[in-house]
Copies of this chain bind each other. A is one copy, B any other.
Amino acid sequence: MRVSVQEADFDVGAETEALAAGRPEVGAVASFVGYVRADKLAGESAADQAVSAMTLEHYPGMTEKSLEAIVAEAESRWSLLGVRVIHRFGRLVPGDRIVFVGVAGSHRGEAFAACEFIMDYLKTRAPFWKKEDTPEGGRWVDAREADDAAAEKWGQA
């Protein structure tokens, strides 16, 4: 299983280990964990600072397909020995893990590049939407232009 979309949390150590276990040709595992940031939720107004949680909505079916496509694209660009992507949905609070991407390779260069590539593409291609809880109710988070720029630096897929 390379891609999971789930409400449940995940075990970073176990997922990282699984990428190398029983594969003696693996020399490098690069991984990334994304967290709900407290200051990402907090804005300038007092109301903004009261934001205490967010809900991640997704498009079941398409989410898994898009993540599989992103992984396949990475595998076509680099020689990889293992890839694992986990993305959570549902209600999350600051400090919660959101996403895990782990890539195993023979050498560190390809593992780092593929891991960052998957994160950059995931940000602009995977159908997730964030809604912050505020005292006035929910507020949808706008997509960041920085994310489009990050995905574009890898060239046309």
Where the two chains meet, the residues of A that have a C-beta atom closer than 8 Å to any C-beta of B are 11-14, 16-17, 20, 24-40, 94-95, 106, 108-109, 111-112, 115-116, 119, 150
Contacts and interface: CB of A to CB of B under 8 A. Distances in A.
Given A13-B14, A31-B33, 20 more contacts: A11-B13, A12-B13, A12-B16, A13-B16, A16-B33, A20-B33, A24-B94, A26-B35, A26-B37, A27-B34, A27-B37, A27-B40, A28-B32, A29-B32, A29-B33, A32-B112, A37-B106, A39-B106, A108-B116, A112-B116
Contacts of A94: 24
Contacts of A32: 28-31, 108, 111-112
A31 B28 contact: no
Contacts of A16: 12-13, 16, 31, 33
Contacts of A31: 16, 30-33
B12 A37 contact: no
Contacts of A111: 32
A151 to B, nearest CB: 12
Nearest to A109: B150
Given A30-B30, A112-B115, A24 B12 contact: no
Given A32-B29, A109-B150, A119-B108, A37 B13 contact: no
8 contacts: A12-B17, A13-B13, A24-B37, A24-B38, A25-B38, A29-B35, A30-B115, A31-B33
